[in-house]
Structure 1
């Protein structure tokens, strides 16, 4: 326990989360809340043992929180006055949390209602083969023999068996509270774990940060020049990590249709590739062997990504399948002032803005994307005043979604979880 600025005692808060330098949206999310949490709590970020040294080096020297490893966390237990918070998503960087979630229940920020990929990665690392089978037996479920090795451990994953209900029920069974970002995620969670105690459930939107860099900054001009984006170009942008479910093939197919009749279009994939999920560069090289195809930037920091969003005429925030994910990239794209298209499934239709148009996920999606590209190519170009007006309007619409605006609800939720989690 330590003192808050006003002299009140602060309880200890152990935060399990990926952290920089891990390139991970969960890390970016938690970094924004740590300064606010540190005002009210004595915060220790608990990181995976193999990440502790790198995370400690990346921690700002004046950061008001500490970084500890799993062993130090275990040495501190039990801590009757402390509290545990898990920042959990369907992400390999979260595998290390699974044992601790069982032994030390805590409040859970649940970014993804399906943890199927997390389960798969845990299985590949030898963590869950026999364990998950044991969980199922305890819960009264039977594993079909086709999914078992001779020693009784899992060989193949019966997807729907784990995708939601069993793993979520086990991980959240003793959690004093769960935070989700959308109505869709809340409803899906209720369907997956209908027996859960909902007294500690809360819905708080994913935050949105104001853009980092103005469009006319020297760094912005240099970035646009490096990517070959001139004033004559109509910029089509796919922002964020280029994972397999971002519908990259559909965007490429639509662009291939439209490009011959709209040479002013320039398609940029603004993010880090994940070739094991979809080899984007290889597909571009096959379809545009002469090198006149789309550009893949690789990983971009927040300033560079905001520069491109502030220049984009049309951004694509697409995802299929989706199980309740709600990253901040959709409202962030709208803040850039350009047009945005997204999918009409999952939580995405909940974000309402005149800048954003949901498209139907179905056999006609490629044609719909091509039509949107052609329309923006034909449209009269915007002047700086038009863009700035759109940006100001969107910033006003999203004013209540900054970390500072959302944090009081966070603090109240953590207080409720602490009260519910005490004996």
Structure 2
């Protein structure tokens, strides 16, 4: 099977880029894959040596030459990295990997952000009917918040993408339900996010990482990873750190990543709370340093609110390293077993966090038990080999389904031509046959559920 693969890749500073590197290196022995990127040079030498890499603008000519069985599109919520991929997924439908079931920010940046207000209104109407159009026009007239900034994220903008897709991969049942609510007939596969590294001994890895970093063994290390923004609940974590009087002399908190919103003054928060010298903001970190901090940490935070329906790659790195992790009790995070991480109710998290941290630090066996369950979960469900196999198996399933559809269309057209239909009507006949297939797919779930 030959795949055309569209995704952000290094040097882009994107979690999906890191994810794709890991996945591609595992998939390369299972399928022939060409990579397509939007106007930059891929920097990862492993990819350069293992794959043919083209600019996305070259796809039409490569398609004619190489005859790909299926296109694979990785979609996130950042228009800087995904706009060209999104447009290609609409014009050349294929298998969509939906890392984020919201993507309103990306679509709004593509349309409203480029002065295309009426196109934005039309997109809101396509997704949400008359209500969507009304909300969009009210916003354009200066009434209320921008739709993509409203509490509860009520306006996900994935319908057009889902309607065009040949199939969809998601990472959680939560995301699968969202996709099915938009188009019941589309094939959807849940492929759990992989853990690239799964260790055998969390404690040994922790002390080895601290030695490399020059951090004393008795230091209590908290850490949060990825973009630093309000929805990572950094304010609440900082408040919790302030409450930990019994640990105050030994605690350090690493924020590993870049501040993603210019107006978010996290350094001022640290200063105002008197936490200077305890909180370290690293900025963008290379993967070796990133993983060393993660390995060295006693407790990690992976909180989200507002929640955009995403599955966190960092969470799966933490599980694979046997970390004790706090997550928000929301959306897809609720699907993880309660014994392998700690779920925190959304809103005023600092008090709950402080109490739970005190409990963990005074009960080392509890920390060890959670760590062991995290590793067991990662080993059973999140290996890179399983993820790569599931991707290729589902892509092959979609390919075989498309071949059956094409065969049915051609056979229907031949039969009608044999029965005396004029060849000038071939396009009409193909459209009729395609609609018959669509109706069959739409009917199948109802029959299976009866």
Taking structure 1 as reference, are residues 30 and 259 closer, same or farther at Cα in structure 2, changes over 3 Å only?
same
Q: How far, CA to CA, are the matches of 1:137 and 1:391 in structure 2? A: 47
Match of 1:395 among 354, 369, 375: 375
Distance 1:46 1:16 in 2: 5
Q: How much does 1:316 deviate?
A: 1.3
Map 1:340-359 → 2, pairs under 5 A: 340-352=325-337, 354-359=339-344
Larger Rg: 2
Alignment partner for residue 236 of structure 1, among 222, 227, 238?
A: 222
1:232–1:220 distance in 2 versus 1, CA, 3 Å:
closer
Q: C-alpha displacement at 1:209, in angstroms?
A: 1.7
1:123 Cα deviation from its structure 2 partner: 3.2
Q: How does 1:12-161 map to 2 (within 5 A)?
A: 13-49=3-39, 52-53=40-41, 55=42, 57-60=43-46, 63-77=49-63, 81-92=68-79, 93-123=81-111, 125-126=113-114, 129-135=117-123, 141=130, 143-144=133-134, 145-148=137-140, 157-159=146-148
Decide which of 298, 311, 317 is 1:332's aligned counterpart: 317
1:261 Cα offset (Å): 6.2
Q: CA offsets, 1:221-270, max 9 Å, x none?
A: 242x2xxx422222222233323310011111111222476322222222
Using structure 2 for the length normalisation, give the TM-score: 0.76
Counterpart in the other structure of 1:370: 354
Match of 2:158 among 168, 173, 177: 168
State the TM-score, normalized to the length of structure 1.
Answer: 0.81
| Larger deviation, residues 233-242 vs 333-342 | 333-342
Residue by residue over 1:185-220, the C-alpha shift from the partner in whole angstroms, topping out at 9 and shown as x without a partner, is 1122333x1x3423x211110011225894454x75
**Map of 1:413 onto structure 2:** 394
Per the TM alignment, residue 64 of structure 1 is displaced from its structure 2 partner at its CA by 2.1
CA deviation map 1:152-172 (0-9, x unaligned):
xxx985447xx6767311112
Single out whichever of 97-106 and 280-289 deviates more from structure 2. 280-289
What is the alpha-carbon distance in structure 1 between the residues aligned to residue 303 and residue 156 of structure 2?
A: 28
Q: Secondary structure at the match of 2:90?
A: helix
Residue number among 231, 253, 262 corresponding to 1:267 in the alignment: 253
- State the SS of the aligned residue for 2:347: coil
Q: CA deviation at 1:137?
A: 6.1
Shift of residue 100, structure 1, vs aligned partner: 1.1
Question: After superposition, what is the alpha-carbon deviation per residue over 1:48-102, rounded to whole angstroms, capped at 9, x for unaligned?
Answer: 12xx23x2x4343763212111221133345754321101111231111222122
Q: Secondary structure at the match of 1:268?
A: strand
Alpha-carbon distance change, 103 to 366 in structure 1, aligned in 2, over 3 angstroms: same
Match of 1:204 in 2: 191
1:315 to 2:300 alignment: yes
Q: Determine the structure 2 residue equivalent to 1:3.
A: none
Residues 85 and 106 in structure 1, CA contact (< 8 A), matched pair in contact too: yes
More helix by share: 2
**3-state SS, counterpart of residue 358 of structure 1:** strand
How far does the alpha carbon of each residue in 1:347-393 deviate from its partner, in whole angstroms, 9 at most, with x for none? 11212263411111134x211012123334444599xxx96x87666
Cα distance change, pair 250–82 in 1 and its aligned pair in 2 (3 A):
same
Residues 252-291 of structure 1, C-alpha deviations (whole Å, 9 max, x = no match): 11112224763222222222322426332232133337x3
Q: For residues 17 and 125 of structure 1, what CA distance do their matches in structure 2 show?
A: 22
Q: How many positions carry a matched residue from both structures?
A: 392
Who is 2:265 aligned against?
279
For the aligned residue pairs, the C-alpha RMSD in angstroms reads 3.4
In the alignment, structure 2 segments of 5+ residues that lack a partner are 407-450
* Gap regions ≥5 residues in structure 1: 1-9, 150-154
CA contact (8 A) 1:236 1:268 kept: yes
Q: Which residue of structure 2 aligns with residue 152 of structure 1? A: none
Determine the C-alpha separation between the residues in 1 that align with 2:341 and 2:124. Answer: 43
**Is 1:176–1:420's contact at 8 Å kept on the other side of the alignment?**
no
CA contact (8 A) 2:339 2:373 kept: no
1:271–1:300 CA contact under 8 A, matched in 2: yes
3-state DSSP class of the match of 1:340?
strand
